[in-house]
Structure 1
Amino acid sequence: MNYFNELGNAIAQIDGAVEHWIVKLGLTYNHFAVLYSLADNADGITQKQICDEWYIPKQTIFNICKEYKEKGLLEFYPSATDKREKIMRLTDAGRAIAKPILAKTHTLSEQAFAEFGTEKTAQLFALMHELSAIFNRHIEHHD
């Protein structure tokens, strides 16, 4: 059995479910990532942090943030620790759009994982972290 293909298929099924949810919200994946990140980080977040967390190219995040700024949904503030960096926060208008998306997504997630069960959820994440560590170890030692 080719476990690599099986893993890819399982990940694709989860990705498909998430994509279906995002489409139901009327968003693209990248727009969802930015709104979700901003709503989930009330103290602010940088474009780089969103890029790193969601594996989205810098230029894509830059363009979406520029669009949201022009629409009055977010504002940029200077970072207290790095003057080259800008912290982004939602405006009141941005919060009005993003907070329901965050709340609906959290509710959906809580319902799905409640049905899946606490024990199986803990096992799932523990096994995923273990498999990731094993893959990374093998990648480091492979030509």
Structure 2
Amino acid sequence: MNFYQKLGGLILGSRLRRLSEYFLSEVNKVYAEKGIPFDASWFSMFYLISKNEHISLIDLAEALEVSHSAISQLAKSLEQKGLLESYPSEHDGRKRLIRFTEQGRQLQEAVEPVWAELDQAMQELMHENEANTALLSSLMSVEQSFAQKSLSQRLLKR
């Protein structure tokens, strides 16, 4: 039994982070091998923007369930790379919207075939055995449990 298995739920966050880092690293190897200048950590934002003509940072943060600050930092980085542009909303000047630049749109078109390949590979992985098949529903269940009662509430109530 290895270190992670021995500690069980106590180290769940670290295991999920390690798995996430491994996953992102492997996908980045594919982008690099194909000569696509894309980072897997951009996926969620790129995907949502690709499905919307434009979207606000607030809407992105809410959809991805991350902080506005995190989304704002990533958007700023992608804007500096020439992939996104921001502009004021016609309906509410206080609201900033973002969309792809032409360079961003070209990159999005280049990564979509990789996304399709990744989706197929993940479908195959999820069906290799019962535990893999149950993984996504188990993650959803844990997320729902935390939405009802956060980990800090669970710890501080003891």
Question: How far is 1:62 from its partner?
Answer: 4.3
1:47-58, aligned counterparts within 5 Å? Answer: 47-52=57-62, 53=64, 55=66, 57-58=70-71
CA pair 14-74 structure 1, distance change in 2 beyond 3 A: closer
1:98-117, aligned counterparts within 5 Å? Answer: 98-117=108-127
Query: Counterparts of 1:117 and 1:108 in 2: how far apart (Å)?
Result: 14
Question: How far is 1:45 from its partner?
Answer: 1.9
Q: Match for residue 64 of structure 1?
A: 77
Query: Counterparts of 1:102 and 1:74 in 2: how far apart (Å)?
Result: 17
RMSD of equivalent CA atoms: 3.4
Query: Counterparts of 1:67 and 1:51 in 2: how far apart (Å)?
Result: 19
TM-score computed with the length of structure 2 as normaliser: 0.63
Query: Amino acid of the residue matched to residue 73 of structure 2?
Result: T
Query: Counterparts of 2:13 and 2:85 in 1: how far apart (Å)?
Result: 40
Find 2:26's aligned residue among 20, 28, 43: 20
Q: Match for residue 3 of structure 2?
A: none
Tell me, yes or no, if the aligned pair for 2:45 and 2:60 is still in contact at 8 Å: yes
Q: Does 2:84 correspond to 1:74?
A: yes
Tell me, yes or no, if the aligned pair for 2:54 and 2:99 is still in contact at 8 Å: yes
Flag structure 1 segments of 5+ consecutive residues without an equivalent.
none
Give the share of equivalent positions with the same residue, in percent: 13
Name the structure, 1 or 2, with higher relative contact order (CA <8 Å, separation 6+).
1
How many residue pairs get matched? 139
Question: How far is 1:49 from its partner?
Answer: 3.8
Tell me, yes or no, if the aligned pair for 2:49 and 2:100 is still in contact at 8 Å: yes
CA pair 132-103 structure 1, distance change in 2 beyond 3 A: same
Q: Does 2:145 correspond to 1:134?
A: yes
Query: Counterparts of 2:43 and 2:109 in 1: how far apart (Å)?
Result: 12
SS of corresponding position for 1:87:
strand
CA pair 102-54 structure 1, distance change in 2 beyond 3 A: farther
Flag structure 2 segments of 5+ consecutive residues without an equivalent.
1-5, 32-36
